[in-house]
Amino acid sequence: MPEVVFTIELPDGNRMECYSPSTVIRNYFVLGEQLPVEEFLVKSRKALFEASERVRAKFGFACSSAASQLNEIETRMQNYSGDSQIRILEI
């Protein structure tokens, strides 16, 4: 299953590399896109759940790396207000 590493710019200017076990992430985010933290969280939850389910369909088990990545994203986003902006730098 092709995996995707995508890089985001956080509201404070720092970068964060994120992992998806599936290219489905490209259905949710676009290179150069800027979106509020709240919208980024909603899309991340949907995208990483769908990616994990694709792994389950192929291998018979969910992807723990997708769950771990989502946990890391949710933890990092707690530092920012919901209307702060996230930019997709690489995908």
Calpha distance 87→91 (Å, rounded): 11
pTM of the model: 0.91
Q: List, for residues 16-46, the tens digit of each pLDDT value.
A: 999 999 999 999 999 999 999 999 999 999 9
The 10 Å CB-count burial string (b at 16+, else e) for 18-32 is: bbbbbebbeebbeee
Residue type present at position 27: N
| Number of residues written out for the chain | 91
Indicate whether 1 pLDDT > 70: no
- Which residues make beta-bridge pairs with 6? 18
- Asked whether 86 and 30 are in contact (CB, 8 A), the reply is no
Question: Based on the structure, what is the number of domains in the chain?
Answer: 1
Q: Domain range for residue 80?
A: 4-90
